[in-house]
Amino acid sequence: MPIGGKKQPPEANEFESVIVHSTISGRPWQLDGHWNRMFEQRVIWDYDTEGFEKISALDGGESLEWCYRCGKCIPVCPVDLVGNYGPMRLHQLVQLGQDLFASDQAWLCTTCMNCLRVCPKEVNLIKVMPAVREVAVSNGNVPVELQDVFEKSFRYGNALGQSPKRRAAWAKGIDVRVLPDQPSPVDVLMIVEDYWSYHPRGQEAARAFAQIANAVGVDWAILGAEEKTIGDSQRLAGEKGLFESLMEDMVATLGRYEFARIVTPDPHGYNALRNVYPTYGHNYEVLHYTQLLAPLVDRIEWKRSLDYKVTFHDPCYLGRHNGEYDAPRRLLEAIPGLKMNEMARCRENGYCCGGGGGGMWLDGLTANHTTERLSERRVREAVETGADVLAVCCPYEVSRFEDAAKSTGNDQLKVLDIVELMAEAMFA
């Protein structure tokens, strides 16, 4: 209170160190007194700016130096919850002189976009990290497991290194039209992508989709052996040249056929077709498979009720990157008997499975920097809801979460694609 009309200076009680707890995560933080002594000139010229200058010179890299260390990114960064990461920490590392182009830190970001969602300065790692990785790739600083994926994608047109001739093997015994064999106009062209084409669990989901699409009267077809991966995860992992080569091949292939819409089960391929292809002048009407099927649920004849407690994992590249949260839920809510229970981290604040931005193939590298895989953390969150089933709608996630359920001792948790649940209720 003013005394004699004058304000009295506060009595300073300075401690050498204190522990405070975050009101968001509950995590304890140690604050040392010398960081709070702001009564003298801040010596900002003691820090090397060369790292920021190199990154800012890259197309898309300029925003990293905009960080003003508010820390809002840290609690929402999925990697930080199992490690020590986030845009603010990367900013500090570069400020202290670390060469991000030659560091493992360049490969830990999954480009999930949750940090950008909360950043007041719009530090955009979805642009920064691919730009940094592109330089790392050109310098030969590529993790071995990722280099293997690049080579397979270039040689075979898919990340799994499988023969293009086996692209449509999953459809054997199902009425699926292959455009090169029947090249007449079609409404929906299905870009199946790699994991639904070749991975055993992905093939189960692909067959379920085919049965459902036929049952509700969708006029659709696939490219078969002429399909190549869209390659968006490869692009985000720094192989922009590979992505552009794959895109040129795909655009040439698409130009040979008549179709109204493209549909894909892969949120990463969906993101590229919807947001990246147009920047090169290639424009198509693109849907995720949940967006195709959600308006058609009234056509479905359900044969049985499913007595499952279900929780749903939002794919980052369908949700935060492209704003689609309702179509998958509409499909799940239409299935008779299902009881939905959301995880605490869902929709805009959904947690990342760890597969984005090349993370699908970098579990070996990230194991050196995290206490557990992001997929394992997510499985624990799913189990906490009391769910019997973790429902997904991204080809990366079934195998990731099934492995995580086993490694965390939660084998009782089923991991099923939404179309697998739909098919179980429609064709039992």
Over its length of 428 residues, how does the chain's per-residue pLDDT go in tens digits? 444 555 566 666 666 677 878 777 778 877 665 555 555 555 555 667 888 999 999 999 999 999 988 989 999 999 999 999 999 999 999 988 899 999 999 999 999 999 999 999 999 999 999 999 999 999 999 999 999 999 999 999 999 999 999 999 999 999 999 999 999 999 999 999 999 999 999 999 999 999 999 999 999 999 999 999 999 999 999 999 999 999 999 999 999 999 999 999 999 999 999 999 999 999 999 999 999 999 999 999 999 999 999 999 999 999 999 999 999 999 999 999 999 999 999 999 999 999 999 999 999 999 999 999 999 999 999 999 999 999 999 999 999 999 999 999 999 999 999 999 999 999 96
Q: Which residues pair with 390 in a beta bridge?
A: 311, 415
13 in a structural domain: no
CATH number of 310's domain: 3.40.50.10700
String of b and e for 343-379 (b: at least 16 CB within 10 Å)? bebbeeebbbbbbbbbbbbbbebbeeebebbbbbbbb
**Which among 175, 207, 193 has a CA at the least distance from the CA of 423?**
207
Global pTM reads 0.86
272 in a structural domain: yes
273 in a structural domain: yes
Residue 61 near residue 127, CB atoms below 8 Å: yes
> Which of 233, 266, 295 is the C-terminal boundary of a domain?
295
Backbone angles phi, psi at 86, to 5 degrees: 125, 160
Q: Scanning the structure block, which residue is given the tokens 């929709």?
A: 347
- 197, with CB counted inside 10 A (0-12, 13-18, 19+), is buried
> Which of 262, 295, 328 is the C-terminal boundary of a domain?
295
Residue 317 near residue 43, CB atoms below 8 Å: no
Residues 163 and 289 in one domain: yes
Residues 166 and 244 in one domain: yes
Residue 390 near residue 309, CB atoms below 8 Å: no
Residues 72 and 190 in one domain: no
8 in a structural domain: no
222 in a structural domain: yes
Total tally of structural domains belonging to the chain = 3
Residues 282 and 248 in one domain: yes
Sign of CA dihedral 342, 83, 144, 244: positive
Residues 312 and 354 in one domain: yes
Residues 252 and 314 in one domain: no
Q: Scanning the structure block, which residue is given the tokens 């080569």?
A: 245
CATH number of 272's domain: 3.40.50
Residues 368 and 240 in one domain: no
63: left (phi over 0), alpha (psi -120 to 50) or beta: alpha
CATH number of 123's domain: 1.10.1060.10
**Which among 370, 417, 412 has a CA at the least distance from the CA of 392?**
417
Which strands sit side by side in the sheet containing 339-340, from one edge to the other? Answer: 339-340, 309-312, 389-392, 414-417
The boundaries of the domain holding residue 342 are 302-427
Q: Cα–Cα distance between 393 and 325 in angstroms, integer?
A: 11
Question: For the chain, how long is the longest CA-to-CA vector?
Answer: 94
Q: Cα–Cα distance between 320 and 77 in angstroms, integer?
A: 13
320 in a structural domain: yes
96 in a structural domain: yes
Residues 289 and 310 in one domain: no
> Which of 238, 272, 295 is the C-terminal boundary of a domain?
295
Residues 276 and 306 in one domain: no
**Which among 257, 229, 247, 206 has a CA at the least distance from the CA of 360?**
229
Eight-state DSSP code of residue 10: P
Residues 243 and 307 in one domain: no
Residues 383 and 271 in one domain: no
Q: Which two tokens stand for residue 34?
A: 């010398």
Q: Which residues contact 42 (CB under 8 A, 6 or more apart)?
A: none
230 in a structural domain: yes
Residues 388 and 333 in one domain: yes
Chain centroid to Cα 266, Å, comes to 10
